[in-house]
Amino acid sequence: MPAIEHPGSIPAGPSLWRRLAAAVYDLLVVVAILMVLTGLVLAARAGSPFDPRSVWFRGLLIVGWWAYFAWSWTHGGQTLGMRAWRLDLVRRDGAAVSLWQATLRFAGAWLSVAAAGLGFLWVLVDRERLAWHDRFSGTELAFARSSAQPQNGERGDGE
């Protein structure tokens, strides 16, 4: 698959630091979603206790987490954190991100974390600044189309 062309001397993709900053923002949103889901479960059970380690509850939280990212990536290509840091998720072939690719990316990100974060750190050595989950899903992070291009020698990646 051909990589997306990036004009001038702009690096192939955003830096690790910019990606992590967006991830921190998104983590705050995810925590809020998980709290709402937990509140809904408690309300549905009329406040009666349940085992938070149960498979059904953990599954519900994972589905809620996935739904946030899958919906964001397939409806505009940005999570709230990505929007704040002017990042877009795009397919490597230029088409819209599909639900299947969003799911692959989500699962791949978990694998990237499970490997002691090596999947994320891979952007430091990858020529195109792609993480494992970028390659796994056929997607990549790019500078947002709506943001102004870097000027006066700026690289546009926060470095």
The structure's pTM equals 0.82
pLDDT at residue 136 greater than cutoff 90: yes
> What pLDDT, on the 0 to 100 scale, is given for residue 116?
96
Domain boundaries, the chain: 16-143
> What pLDDT, on the 0 to 100 scale, is given for residue 7?
47
**CA 72 from centre of chain:** 9
